[in-house]
Structure 1
């Protein structure tokens, strides 16, 4: 089928999409409407933690769809209860609220922090609602989560923003301290800034942040929508720093490709009252059954150690490319990694890699001078080698073109 036969003009334009339609996916591979295959290093922006259409998700969907899809969040259902129990058993948290997207989970964390700030006022008896976030952070696309984000330009798109968010500098504890006032209730951060360019918070900074927030009676919220669910080599990225935050949000990988997210908190901060929070589809058994299957796969013996091993292997191969082509280095945690290009050729690489034949390569450039890699956590070393070889071919093409100029 030709692309022109698809009525893409019926879709609202929200991003610039290339003229191709994906029709099938398996593991690390996607196939488009003309049968061309693509090695996929986006995986839905770190969503498909087990790759495209893994068998465990197919099985969970088929089995649960025959039993119960949505009884309403006004009632308990078996997969909801089971997944909540498994998540609390695997983490430092006691309570779980399920939602459908990372933004929704982060919105819930913001609401919970503000509710807690009402119940724990400052010395003047005033409720606390201000939250310190970080420059270049990304927390979602609702009005509140966009306001919490430090993505450049987002303060003007749908102005005015939701007030109450101050932007500190990642890995600079002094910049956090200067924003703490009598209305401050929490500090919220990504353990690894994904959209900001795969910038990890250091272990020392995370520990200093935990000490500071505890001392000042502030909540510490970790947004693990992208960095959680095994992506960084531990089940949760906060575990890399040996601390226990008060609230955590999950998304993307928790559903392995289906709409599922979660906000987790410790018992001391579980202050929502009936009616404070909800959602028509939240915690529905179809999605939470998938979440249970995904979590079981990530907790299988040896799985997370393999993520760490392949993360180091990807790192070493990216460093080889850095040396070969005179690039600026790499950074990241586990299988959330970035190649620093040193110059703004990221969009050019993305386009050339996608259009190369007979097999394409799907890459992401969140900043013009950087590529981000988010493969399935069960990616093979052969698939890493294949990506590196394809990327090297693209870099050679660019270098040859630049030499002629």
Structure 2
């Protein structure tokens, strides 16, 4: 076996396409909510791989599922079906509104499938001119040309040539703005129940309820992007369950595989029934490895014990953040759902989220930002209370350094 060549952070700058600006350290090992870098320095993980490692690093049940499937069957393509995919699909259907599932590899791919399905359904059932998609400013749905165009952040979509047409963006949580643009040419409204990248902002009850009613009135589909808010992150299996609003299509990824790349698009029988073999597909989607791990993750996350513990952990985070805020007065608002928490910086610290983020790493804390003004926390859903306490202690040291500096 070939020897592993020595690599460090400087290697990144030579060999990787310059679309990322990663931290100066390289994580090499993780266990639970602790991570160690090349030098052996330990970090508490409040980032969760951007809401992905929902059961922490190397959870024994996921390791076992991966190992067992890895010795059995890796890949057969969708020329054949496989048992892990069928089991996972049935469990997702049993736990949600959905009747049909399509598996892919990433949130962007699940959203791409959802937007294509919404357009195809409208064309098939109503009219080829019923193609308008209504989406929201600061929304984020992925990086393919279609999904990045539906996303409401032009900085991610500008410069790549002509964008897919017939996509309209309006302000989030503004029902009147939606009413002003929706018409009988609208095929879908696409929305995150909690805007993640856009600042960890939840939809209001009236807004999401109103979107459902507008979709029904105009024979449009309600598409919920739960790539970040789903799989227990909100305190329920999916965020829509807090609102009593049922979508026509839902997408999930990130935490679905607990760290293994997998995603799913869920749909009702009525919507799914317009599709036929060859209309959409993916080589790797629904492969046995990914689905075996995702099934193990779902079996753990979708339990009363884990879901009930999420709000309890949220309270610990909010309480610690409030304590820090009483001392340093750096936050104006805490928001989000469950263990997707956004702490918005006060006006005196505007545009300085990056500084707090960098300082946190210095003190052994991995966390996230959501734009230049929001600190984002998306830890493991089963993070130990001791790890929350330790991590928030490290965050306070980082805050003290930035404020004092």
Instruction: State how far apart, in whole Å, the 1-side matches of 2:157 and 2:258 are.
Output: 31
Alignment correspondent of 2:324: 321
Instruction: State how far apart, in whole Å, the 1-side matches of 2:10 and 2:124 are.
Output: 58
Q: Secondary structure at the match of 1:187?
A: strand
Find runs of 4+ consecutive structure 1 residues off by over 6 angstroms.
Answer: none
> Which runs of no fewer than 5 residues in structure 2 stay unpaired?
1-5
Q: Secondary structure at the match of 1:31?
A: strand
Instruction: State how far apart, in whole Å, the 1-side matches of 2:203 and 2:117 are.
Output: 24
Residues 85-124 of structure 1, C-alpha deviations (whole Å, 9 max, x = no match) = 00000001100000000000000000100110111225xx
Cα deviation, residue 263, structure 1? 0.2
Q: Secondary structure at the match of 1:328?
A: strand
Instruction: State how far apart, in whole Å, the 2-side matches of 1:313 and 1:281 are.
Output: 39
Mean alpha-carbon deviation: is it higher for 327-336 or for 92-101?
A: 327-336
Alignment correspondent of 1:194: 196
Instruction: State how far apart, in whole Å, the 2-side matches of 1:299 and 1:37 are.
Output: 30
Is residue 2–residue 33 contact of structure 1 (8 Å, CA) maintained in 2? Answer: no
Instruction: State how far apart, in whole Å, the 2-side matches of 1:301 and 1:129 are.
Output: 41
Q: Secondary structure at the match of 1:97?
A: strand
Alignment correspondent of 2:339: 335
Is 2:44 the counterpart of 1:43? no
Instruction: State how far apart, in whole Å, the 1-side matches of 2:162 and 2:148 are.
Output: 11
Is 2:397 the counterpart of 1:397? no
Is residue 255–residue 290 contact of structure 1 (8 Å, CA) maintained in 2? Answer: yes
Alignment correspondent of 1:307: 310
Match of 1:76 among 76, 81, 104: 81
Is 2:355 the counterpart of 1:348? yes
Residues 179-238 of structure 1, C-alpha deviations (whole Å, 9 max, x = no match) = 113321010100000000100001221111111111211100000000000000000000
Is residue 184–residue 218 contact of structure 2 (8 Å, CA) maintained in 1? Answer: no
Instruction: State how far apart, in whole Å, the 1-side matches of 2:184 and 2:322 are.
Output: 46
Cα deviation, residue 152, structure 1? 4.0
Matches within 5 A, 1:348-367: 348-356=355-363, 360-367=364-371
Alignment correspondent of 1:274: 277
Matches within 5 A, 1:61-100: 61-100=66-105
Instruction: State how far apart, in whole Å, the 1-side matches of 2:83 and 2:11 are.
Output: 40
Alignment correspondent of 2:175: 173
Q: Aligned in 2, Cα 1:313/1:152: closer, same or farther, shift over 3 Å?
A: farther
Alignment correspondent of 1:29: 34
Alignment correspondent of 2:3: none
What do you get for the CA RMSD once the two structures are aligned? Answer: 1.5
Alignment correspondent of 1:113: 118
Residues 11-67 of structure 1, C-alpha deviations (whole Å, 9 max, x = no match) = 222111233222111111111111111111111100101011111111001111111
Is residue 2–residue 34 contact of structure 1 (8 Å, CA) maintained in 2? Answer: no
Alignment correspondent of 1:294: 297
Q: Secondary structure at the match of 1:147?
A: helix
Instruction: State how far apart, in whole Å, the 2-side matches of 1:59 and 1:303 are.
Output: 19
Mean alpha-carbon deviation: is it higher for 86-95 or for 347-356?
A: 347-356
Match of 1:213 among 212, 215, 222: 215
Is residue 138–residue 195 contact of structure 2 (8 Å, CA) maintained in 1? Answer: yes
> Which runs of no fewer than 5 residues in structure 1 stay unpaired?
none
Q: Secondary structure at the match of 1:153?
A: helix
Instruction: State how far apart, in whole Å, the 1-side matches of 2:48 and 2:17 are.
Output: 23
Report the TM-score when normalising by structure 2: 0.94
Matches within 5 A, 1:109-148: 109-122=114-127, 126-148=128-150
Cα deviation, residue 154, structure 1? 2.7
